[in-house]
Structure 1
């Protein structure tokens, strides 16, 4: 008899079958058995991901494909959440890996009856460095700082359905970048309890040419779009220094690329 899942892994996927296979294997390696993994295919055109899912022959892993006219990570995550049977929702990109204790710890840390979100440390790894290293800084939650930049690392997040519902609409399908920042900002404003957990739950795959390097200008514009949509007040980027932990403030403000990413273009016009 199949048990009702107590946590749901949300896995948007497009192509990259080798990485998806590893991500699903990390679900199977969980110390807790009562989980489900929801793979939502964003119109893969190089491989049949449904066949890959079938190979696992595990009813806890379910496949769905976005309908024609729908595309993007936001639509895929929203569809996965609509499919989910559990009240605890765990983000997992198709190229990342769960640590074996993740499901069990999220069960302990999230009260299904409350609007809650947790974020954790992540371990950064790559094909060249499979052992990886921990991301060095974990910023405690600060609502005022979240208005300025996203310090919540999406691969290490988990939230209750009540937190998701509190946003009044989930991920915005119009956003393909910074969609997580937009969601967490709306959660914070809706009164969701957000906590930093000083543990590693996920290994985050670093690609040689990651999004930040390849799409710097596009990502910055997405951040500005999120600020406009949420009517964030213009601010000088140096204001981050007063709220962030010192190491994080230095990493952001002393790095030209990071500083450019999070600066507020509207401030000079105020």
Structure 2
């Protein structure tokens, strides 16, 4: 193995004894062989380390790192990325599989665009109860992809992520050690703020396993707050003049409203209005997408909570908001 392989693959793994072998086998099946693999066993309580050793066999391109206790996916990912020697670093989730051409296709994308700092791809979804041929399609194009990070869905998945090592090292970009989830979105946002371009290759390059043990299903207590924290973080970067309370109200629109509903809605509507007219920092994102998303959401909530809202109070506030917000209220019958 050369001291500087073309690609370093990093698999953070926690209690993945039954699945880690498939993930490792998918790396060993890549169509290019100039790679190294770092498996980070994040303090697993099962036999993940033994299963990884068995799957690695005598392949000297594979290295194993073992934590004595569970530290979380961000710290495990950082450990693997810090140890990486490749020109490009690819992350794969321990319950997923990389298709054989993943490395070759993503590396070609980086070579075609020297400004590209991070790339993902579409993913085939498989598992119990998942229809055959299910594909998770991700946003294409740097500007739209950056803007869609706010929504957090079908953007740049950590399980398909490849980055240019020189860029992330130069700008000291790391996964947030305190992030319980959405760490991949926050990582992509850091790349955006540093001036890097983002992309998704318009091909299916990874297979994502949908199962009862998925983190987002088993740890809702971490997944939802992690996404909420990320959304606040990215809005603060885009709209530095927007008050923290306004950002919190906007992000809370994707959660359940608390009574008194009319007061909460009015405060949220005003926060959305302030975002619509606020100055936005240009990091290359499509600056029209996020205002459209939040305005649509406030319209949805007006309709959803109609029976709990004081119609006269909402109508009285209409004259003080911008035309996009009034249009959303019109479409909701206010």
- For the criterion TM > 0.5, the same-fold answer is yes
Indicate if the aligned counterparts of 1:115 and 1:162 stay in contact, CA closer than 8 A. Answer: no
Indicate if the aligned counterparts of 1:114 and 1:162 stay in contact, CA closer than 8 A. Answer: no
| Matched residue, 1:265 | none
| Matched residue, 1:163 | 167
- 1:194 and 2:198 matched: yes
Greater helix share, 1 or 2? Answer: 2
Query: 1:255: how far off?
Result: 10
| Matched residue, 1:97 | 97
Give the TM-score, by structure 2 length. 0.64
Matched positions, count: 249
Q: Which moved more, 1:53-62 or 1:7-16?
A: 53-62
Query: 1:108: how far off?
Result: 1.5
The structure that has the greater radius of gyration is: 2
3-state secondary structure, aligned to 1:202: strand
Change (3 A) 1:176 1:48: same
Indicate if the aligned counterparts of 2:30 and 2:103 stay in contact, CA closer than 8 A. Answer: yes
Change (3 A) 1:81 1:113: farther
| Matched residue, 1:28 | 28
Give the TM-score, by structure 1 length. 0.78
| Matched residue, 1:180 | 184
| Matched residue, 1:125 | 126
Query: Over aligned residue pairs, what C-alpha RMSD do you find?
Result: 3.3
| Matched residue, 1:260 | none
Change (3 A) 1:137 1:30: closer
Q: Which moved more, 1:52-61 or 1:179-188?
A: 52-61
Change (3 A) 1:99 1:226: same
Matches within 5 A, 1:1-270: 2-3=1-2, 4-50=4-50, 52-55=52-55, 56-66=57-67, 71-111=71-111, 116-127=117-128, 132-136=133-137, 138-142=139-143, 145-146=147-148, 148-150=150-152, 151-208=155-212, 210-216=214-220, 218-229=222-233, 231-232=236-237, 233=239, 234=247, 235=250, 243=289
Change (3 A) 1:131 1:100: farther
Q: Which runs of 5+ in 1 are unaligned?
A: 257-270
**Structure-2 separation of matches of 1:155 and 1:65:** 20
Query: 1:216: how far off?
Result: 4.3
Q: Which runs of 5+ in 2 are unaligned?
A: 240-246, 254-271, 277-285, 302-334
